[in-house]
Amino acid sequence: MDSSTASVIDSVVLSADRPSRWSGLLRSFYEAPFVPLLILVLLVLTAVGADWLAPHDPTIGNLRARYLPPVWEERGSSEYLLGTDHMGRDVLSRLIHGSRISLVVATAAVLLAGVIGTTLGILSGFRGGWIDQVVMRLTDAWMALPTISFAILLAALLRPSEWNLVVILAAVYWTRYARVIRGEVLSLKERDFVRLAIVAGCSRTRIMGTHILPNIANSAIVMATLQFGVVIIAEATLSFLGVGVAPPQPAWGLMLFEGKSGLMTGFWWLSIFPGVCIMLVVLAANLLGDWFRVWSDPQLRQL
Amino acid sequence: MQRYIVRRVFYALISLVLLSITIFCLIRFTGDPAVLMVEPGASEADLQAIRQEFGLDKPWVVQYGVFMVNMARGDFGMSIYYREPAFELYLQRLPASLLLAAVAMSISLLIGIPIGILSAVRVNSWLDTIGKTFSILGLSLPSFWVGLLLIMIFSVSWGWLPSSGSGTFWHILMPAFSLGWVFSAAYTRMARSAMLDVLGSEYIKLARLKGLPEKLVIAKHAFKNAVIPVLTLAGINLVIMMNVAVVVESVFAWPGIGRLLYEGISNRDFPVVQTTVLMGGMMIVVINLLVDILYAYVDPRIRYGQ
């Protein structure tokens, strides 16, 4: 999955749409895509307020109300707006609590991967020599790992839990940062302000921290935004395969896995709603990432 | 050229060694492999026996040496569940995976290239909007959910296609489409940007100046060059597809290597899981090496540049 997304991200760069008129940064910020932003804000709000918003407990079911369809269907009940699952748990409440898991796991994984990848990328690019060789060979080897299979292997070795999931996803997705950041650092290193800093006698740590880091921050943030969606899908995939978030937690991927058995018997709502949630969030993250990449790159913006 | 190839092969070997070390260490860092090899609840004496049988009581360096020598001989350990060599199980499942990947590849190319090309030819038209929407949707829908939706529509509602298993032509359609889905979105984007690049080039301008009909310019002159990068990527992706198919194969019970991996996890069959991941990594390293060499052969700038 990663290599395909990598090539997709590359082609995003190539096929970027060039906005025609831009008058100042402030104005451009107002042109942030509204709907994706709204979706992500809603995601954060539901994640924060899950305890108040959810009408029922997400893990405790009512066995007398199993497999109830959504409210607008014939047998639907207004108590369970989006129906109930095989244990009589409220789907809506599980979706709401699931947003928290998705958000926390994906954010933490993207941050951790970003920190690891960026640090290694800067070290590798700036120090060069054997450090560069070691880091880059490691990155090569790591990139050759079949992403999802590798994540599954890790997940099978570690106990399934949210934090292990974060570690696994970060362990799988740090390589792209390292590659790209290293490339940027290599060209930054030749720029006059870095040379000047070297001549002025700044320590290596200081140059990497105060001169190079701020200049690559943009790329790192853009990559992080674009990876957010990828990581959410990866988390859902692992949970769907039973090696991610452990039941009875209400993760979206896990809900799809549990709903799969009801698919042939016509309990469609168990397979539709969690998928729609994943789709909306990933779509929002991708659109926002696309926009942010164009916004943060003056060349694409044709300033 | 020779020096370039030698260097690339050397890098690929380093990748393979690092790959094996990574997996070797992970298994030993995260717990006792003996525990993974026996059924849950085994006694301490059993564990000790397993450790001795598989040499897990020896120093790590020795263990790694044995691991590598065995691997070089094609011995990836015995499957605990099937009591068969894990590598043979893998080879048995390989054809099904290859078939699925090939069909998925064809589907994704057949969808992706036309949409991408049309998108580029009619830039900023409604066709382009559809193309762009399609490509962003492709990235945002998890493949297993696409699979579930397809089952819902074609198996449950309409009853046209079988929801799982393999054997006939009809069985392969839904898994292949779910697997190809995200790739077709990628090809749409690539074909679109490649076509845009080509359409801006000098020789297309010349073709137009010559007075060739626009259809001929697009179909004959531009199309061929725009499709090359997409097809190159498709070659690499075939290997990647086989290795990301695990989730689609588990949805549709398709008997490929992904399914093997999935079963390996459910059965706590560790040698099988390890074999699948290692073989996947090796395939990717080898295909990358081949592509690097091919590129250098085609483009002299690469082989002299380094």
Alpha carbon of B15: minimum distance to chain A alpha carbons (Å): 4
Q: Tell me the C-alpha to C-alpha distance, in Å, between residue A291 and each of A153, A225, A287, B220.
A: 35, 10, 6, 34
pLDDT of the residue at B32: 67
- CB–CB of A275/A232 below 8 Å? no
B-chain residue closest to A288, CA distance = B136
The distance of B237 to chain A (nearest Cα, Å) reads: 7
For residue A237, the tally of other CB atoms under 10 A from its CB is 27
CA distance B185 to A109: 25
Name every chain B residue with its beta carbon within 8 A of the beta carbon of A144.
Answer: 15, 19, 281, 284-285, 288
Q: Is B189 on the interface with A (CB under 8 A)?
A: yes
Query: Which segments of chain B does DSSP mark as H helices, in order?
Result: 2-29, 33-37, 44-53, 60-72, 86-121, 126-140, 143-150, 169-199, 202-209, 214-216, 223-244, 246-252, 257-266, 270-298, 300-305
Q: Are B152 and A271 in contact (CB under 8 A)?
A: yes
- Say which range, A232-241, A263-272, B51-60, B116-125, has the weakest mean pLDDT: B51-60
Rounded Cα distance between B268 and B271, Å, is 9
pLDDT at B238 over 90: no
Spatial separation of the C-alpha atoms in residues A135 and A139, rounded to whole Å: 6
B215, B141 Cβ separation under 8 angstroms: no
Contact A141 B15 (CB under 8 A): yes
Q: Residue-wise over B193-225: b if at least 16 C-beta within 10 A, else e?
A: bbbbbbbeeeebeebeeeeeeeeebbeebbbeb
Give the Cβ contact number of residue A279 at 10 Å.
Answer: 18
Give the HSE-up count for residue B293: Cα atoms under 13 Å, Cβ half-sphere.
16
Locate A277 and state its tokens: 């949630």
Nearest CA in chain A to B148: A271
Chain A residues in contact with B15 by the CB 8 A cut-off are 137, 140-141, 144
A15/B193 Cβ within 8 A: yes
Shortest CB distance from A4 goes to which of B36, B152, B183? B183
Query: Is the separation of the CB atoms in A126 and A185 below 8 Å?
Result: yes
pLDDT for residue A160: 75
Shortest CA distance from B156: residue in chain A: A264
Report how far apart, in Å, the C-alpha atoms of B223 and of each of A14, A201, B165, B194 are. 18, 55, 38, 9
| A123 Cβ contact list (under 8 Å, min separation 6) | A131, A135, A208
Mean pLDDT of chain A: 82
Is the model more confident about A303 or about B213?
B213
Rounded to the nearest angstrom, the minimum Cα separation between A270 and chain B is 11
Nearest CA in chain B to A287: B136
Q: Does B9 touch chain A (CB under 8 A)?
A: no
The reported pLDDT for the residue numbered B2 is: 81
User: Which pLDDT belongs to residue B239?
Assistant: 86
Residue tagged 């990748």 (tokens): B15
Residue A151 has which token pair?
A: 């994540």
Of the candidates B16, B185, B277, which has its C-beta nearest A146's C-beta?
B277
Task: Tell which wins on pLDDT, A265 or B259.
Answer: B259
User: Would the ipTM clear 0.90, i.e. be above it?
Assistant: no
Residue range B65-82, pLDDT digits in tens: 888 888 888 788 778 778
Q: What confidence category does residue A24 fall into, taking pLDDT thresholds of 50, 70 and 90?
A: low
- Whether residue B105 lies within 8 A of chain A, CB to CB, comes out as no
A194, A125 Cβ separation under 8 angstroms: no
DSSP state of A80: B
CB B281 to CB A145 under 8 A? Answer: yes
Torsion angles phi and psi, residue A294, rounded to 5? -65, -40
Q: What is the structure's pLDDT at A104?
A: 93
Min Cα distance B150 → chain A (Å) is 11
To probe the interface with A, which of B8, B16, B119, B139 has the most A CB atoms within 10 Å?
B139
Residue of B nearest to A11 (CA): B190
CA distances from A20 to A16, A296, A300, A303 (A): 12, 15, 10, 10
Q: Partners of A77 in the beta sheet?
A: A80
- The predicted pLDDT at position A268 comes to 85
What is the structure's pLDDT at A50?
84
CA distances from B207 to A43, A108, B55, B197, B201 (A): 52, 53, 70, 15, 10
Each as own residue / partner, the long-range contacts of residues A9-15 (CB below 8 Å, 24 or more positions apart, any chain) are A9/A176, A9/A223, A9/A226, A11/B186, A11/B189, A11/B190, A11/B193, A12/A226, A12/A290, A12/A293, A12/B189, A13/A293, A14/B189, A14/B190, A14/B193, A14/B197, A15/B189, A15/B190, A15/B192, A15/B193, A15/B196
Find chain B residues with C-beta within 8 A of A7's C-beta.
186, 190, 233, 237
- pLDDT the model gives residue A22: 42
Question: What is the rounded average pLDDT of the residues B147-164?
Answer: 85
Three-class HEC string of B76-108: CCECCCCCCEHHHHHHHHHHHHHHHHHHHHHHH
- Quote the pLDDT of residue A29: 59
pLDDT grade, residue A300 (50/70/90)?
A: low
Residues of chain B contacting A158 with CB distance shorter than 8 Å: 30
Inter-chain CB proximity A145 and B19 less than 8 Å: yes
* Range of lowest pLDDT (A13-17, A148-152, B126-130): A13-17
* pLDDT above 70 as % of chain A: 87
- B142·A237 Cβ contact <8 A: yes
Distance of CA B33 to the CA centre of its chain: 28
Q: Which residues of A touch B238 (CB under 8 A)?
A: none
Q: Identify the pLDDT of residue A23.
A: 47
Q: Does any CB of chain A come closer than 8 Å to the CB of residue B193?
A: yes
B137 CA: distance to closest CA in chain A (Å): 7
Residue A84, phi then psi, degrees to nearest 5: -130, 165
The reply to whether residue A241 touches residue B276, judged by beta carbons under 8 angstroms, is no
In this complex, is the C-beta atom of B284 within 8 Å of any C-beta atom belonging to chain A? Answer: yes
A234 band by pLDDT with thresholds 50, 70 and 90: very high
CA dihedral B85, B87, B92, B98 (to 10 degrees): 170
DSSP characters for A150-180?
Answer: HHHHHHHHSPP-HHHHHHHHHHHHSHHHHHH
B277: phi > 0 → left, psi -120 to 50 → alpha, else beta; which? alpha
* Interval A38-76: pLDDT, tens: 889 999 999 888 888 888 888 887 888 788 888 787 877
- How many angstroms separate the CA of residue B142 from the nearest CA in chain A? 6
What phi-psi label fits residue B38: left (phi over 0), alpha (psi between -120 and 50 degrees) or beta? beta
pLDDT in tens, B163-219: 777 777 788 889 999 999 889 998 998 888 888 888 888 888 888 888 888 888 888
Give the distance from residue B44's alpha carbon to the nearest chain A alpha carbon, in angstroms. 20
**Is the pLDDT score of A7 beyond 50?**
no
- Return the closest-CA partner of residue B116 out of B103, B142, B141, B134: B134
pLDDT of residue B36: 66
Residues facing residue A80 across a β-bridge = A77
B35 → chain A, closest CA residue? A157
pLDDT band per the 50, 70, 90 thresholds, residue A19: very low
- Please tell me the pTM assigned to this model: 0.84
Subunit contact B140:A242, Cβ cutoff 8 A: no
pLDDT at B103: 94
Identify the weakest region by mean pLDDT among B104-108, B112-116, B163-167. Answer: B163-167
The pLDDT of residue B1 is above 80 = no
Chain A contact for B266, CB < 8 A? yes
B261 touches chain A (CB under 8 A): yes
The partner residue sitting opposite A286, judged by closest CB among B31, B139, B251, is: B139
Q: How much is the pLDDT for A267? A: 86
| Model confidence at A296: pLDDT above 80 | no
Is the pLDDT reported for residue A1 higher than 70? no
pLDDT band at A28 (very low <50, low <70, confident <90, very high): low
Amino acid A219: pLDDT: 86
Quote the DSSP letter at residue A20: S
Which of A14, A134, A234, A92 is closest to B193 using CA atoms?
A14
pLDDT tens track for A155-193: 877 777 888 899 999 988 999 899 899 988 988 888 888
Query: Could you tell me if B13 lies within 8 Å of chain A, comparing CB atoms?
Result: no
Whether B149 sits inside 8 A of A144 (CB atoms) is: no
B18 DSSP assignment: H
Please give the mean pLDDT across all residues of chain B: 84
Quick one: pLDDT at residue A232?
93
What is the Cα–Cα distance from B180 to B186, expressed in whole angstroms?
10
Q: Which of A141, A156, A287 sits opposite B19 (nearest CB)?
A: A141
Check whether A257 has a pLDDT greater than 70.
Answer: yes
